[in-house]
Amino acid sequence: MNQLEMKQMNPNTLSALRRLRMRHLELLCHLSEETTVSAAATRLNLTQPAVSKMITEIESVCNAALFTRGRTGITANDKGFLLIQTACDMVQSLARSLSEIQALEDGASGLLRMGSFS
């Protein structure tokens, strides 16, 4: 997203984006793999109440219910699945970029362009 796109963005959307943190995105990815808040909390080294609060924050940012809570755990609804997929894509993309940057710093990687005439 370039600076022009940021300026043209709906102010409410921009405000919501500013309230999301990397930890929220990580939590969403873990919730795609875990069926309980406690299990997600364990994976993130957080308490269950802290994770519950983060879920509430995410839903507040989205202004929508993203999960169904029940006795057997937590399940993403359609909106939740959409956000989870996007969050996981973002986390994976950032992780790849950081790995590539580290490889460039270590001198282990680079870009080689080759061409030939026939």
Domain count, the chain: 1
Q: What is the pLDDT of residues 89-116, one digit of tens each?
A: 999 999 999 999 998 888 875 566 667 7
Is residue 93 included in any domain, yes or no?
yes
Tokens matching residue 62: 């989205």
Taking 3-state DSSP, the helix, strand and coil percentages for the chain, each rounded to the nearest 5, stand at 65, 5, 30
**Range with the poorest average pLDDT among 1-5, 19-23, 100-104, 108-112:** 108-112
Other beta carbons within 10 angstroms of residue 44's beta carbon come to: 17
CATH at 51: 1.10.10.10
Q: Which helix (H) or strand (E) covers residue 75, if one does? A: strand 73-76
Q: Which domain holds residue 55?
A: 22-103
Is residue 51 included in any domain, yes or no?
yes
Q: What is the pLDDT of residues 42-84, one digit of tens each?
A: 999 999 999 999 999 999 999 999 999 999 899 999 999 999 9
- Residue 5 Cα distances to 14, 19, 73, 91, 116, angstroms: 11, 18, 39, 21, 39
